[in-house]
């Protein structure tokens, strides 16, 4: 009996230590999984924050241009400085209006990303979907390299001297360089950069296919889910900016506009 008592007295700490290590490992895996699931939402909020800062900077540039106009009016009437100052002020106002629409679009993307976060299961990670989209574009291009019929029908897509093919190969290299290493923690900024690189690669291949005469290449890719619908709304807002700028004389804008900062309470 004494050897058993001595063994218990010498190794009693093993069980609590093992339990603590197991709990810490489980907590780390759970937190990492949750962080990976919300990566797209965090990236959308990162873009919203960037858009908000861009709008604040644009508003500051408008105030600076207004001060330059007042200073230019005090100069001689024969000087060209007042006209240049007014043009700079108009350009600053146009940049402020564009930044305001960009902020609205980024907030729409936050709502879309939140809906996607709530809709997808825990096994469907944003980075895995982005990996799949990247691999799909690569497979689409490799079909012109490996399929004899496609290679003969569209030789331009395998010609590295053609400008459109060169643009795609450059975008492909940049997307591969921006691709995060699997298993490592990815920041929202890295996710945004990788997603933009994959989108640029897809657009470059679509343009190369269009110039090569591939049937159906000019059709834009279909976006699925709530994110696709709100993304289309954001694209429509961006497309409406030139029309609104052309009708600026008929639009009365408030003199002071305080943009709503990104909501940090829900993060």
Span 177-212, pLDDT tens digits: 999 988 788 899 999 999 999 999 999 999 999 998
C-alpha torsion 234→238→243→247, nearest 10: 90
Does the residue 43 lie in any domain? yes
Q: Show the tokens assigned to 87.
A: 């043009």
140 shares a domain with 70: no
Q: Show the tokens assigned to 92.
A: 């600053």
Listed range (103-112, 163-172, 220-229) with the worst mean pLDDT: 220-229
215 shares a domain with 139: yes
115 shares a domain with 139: no
Locate all alpha helices (DSSP H) within 12-80, ordered by sequence. 14-37, 39-73
d(CA 184, CA 171): 23
Give the tens place of pLDDT for each residue, 118-145: 776 656 788 888 999 999 999 999 999 8
Does the residue 114 lie in any domain? yes
114 shares a domain with 77: yes
Q: How far is CA 187 from CA 41, 137, 154, 169, in A?
A: 12, 23, 39, 26
Does the residue 132 lie in any domain? yes
Total of domains in the chain: 2
Domain that holds residue 172: 123-221
pTM of the model: 0.57
204 shares a domain with 134: yes
Does the residue 11 lie in any domain? no
d(CA 187, CA 199): 18
Does the residue 265 lie in any domain? no
Look at the chain and count its residues: 267
130 shares a domain with 211: yes
- Specify the higher pLDDT residue, 104 or 36: 104
Where do we find the tokens 């997808």?
A: 120
3 state SS of 124: coil
Give the tens place of pLDDT for each residue, 58-91: 999 999 988 888 888 777 655 666 788 888 889 9
3 state SS of 201: helix
- Specify the higher pLDDT residue, 223 or 52: 52
Locate all alpha helices (DSSP H) within 120-187, ordered by sequence. 126-146, 148-153, 163-178
Q: What is the mean pLDDT of residues 155-166?
A: 89
> Does an H or E element contain 108, and which?
helix 81-119
173 shares a domain with 112: no
- 10 Å CB burial of residue 167 (0-12, 13-18, 19+) is middle
111 shares a domain with 141: no
| Mean pLDDT over each residue of the chain, to the nearest integer | 75
109 shares a domain with 235: yes
- Specify the higher pLDDT residue, 10 or 161: 161
d(CA 166, CA 184): 31
Residue 114 CB neighbour total at 10 angstroms: 18
d(CA 168, CA 184): 28
Listed range (22-26, 46-50, 113-117, 146-150) with the worst mean pLDDT: 22-26
The pLDDT of residue 208 is 92
Does the residue 31 lie in any domain? no
Q: Show the tokens assigned to 104.
A: 């609205």
d(CA 75, CA 70): 9
Q: Show the tokens assigned to 96.
A: 């402020």
Is the pLDDT reported for residue 227 higher than 90?
Answer: no
Does the residue 78 lie in any domain? yes
């Amino acid at each position: 009996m004494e050897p058993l008592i001595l063994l218990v007295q010498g190794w009693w700490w093993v069980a609590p230590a093992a339990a603590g290590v197991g709990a810490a490992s489980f907590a780390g895996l759970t937190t990492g999984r949750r962080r990976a699931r919300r990566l797209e939402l965090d990236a959308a909020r990162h873009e919203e924050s960037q858009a908000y800062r861009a709008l604040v900077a644009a508003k500051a540039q408008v105030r600076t241009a207004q001060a330059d106009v007042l200073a230019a009016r005090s100069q001689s009437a024969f000087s060209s400085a007042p006209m240049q100052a007014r043009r700079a002020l108009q350009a600053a106002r146009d940049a402020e209006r564009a930044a305001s629409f960009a902020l609205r679009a980024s907030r729409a993307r936050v709502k879309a990303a939140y809906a996607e976060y709530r809709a997808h299961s825990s096994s469907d990670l944003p980075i895995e979907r982005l990996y799949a989209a990247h691999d799909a574009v690569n497979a689409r291009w490799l079909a012109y390299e490996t399929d004899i019929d496609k290679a003969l029908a569209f030789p331009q897509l395998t010609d590295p001297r053609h400008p459109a093919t060169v643009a795609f190969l450059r975008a492909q290299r940049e997307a591969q360089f921006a691709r995060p290493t699997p298993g490592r923690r990815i920041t929202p900024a890295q996710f945004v950069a990788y997603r933009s690189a994959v989108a640029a690669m897809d657009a470059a291949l679509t343009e190369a296919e269009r110039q090569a005469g591939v049937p159906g290449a000019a059709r834009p890719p279909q976006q699925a889910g709530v994110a696709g619908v709100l993304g289309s709304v954001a694209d429509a807002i961006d497309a409406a900016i030139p029309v609104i700028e052309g009708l600026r004389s008929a639009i009365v804008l408030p003199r002071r506009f305080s943009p709503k900062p990104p909501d940090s309470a829900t993060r």
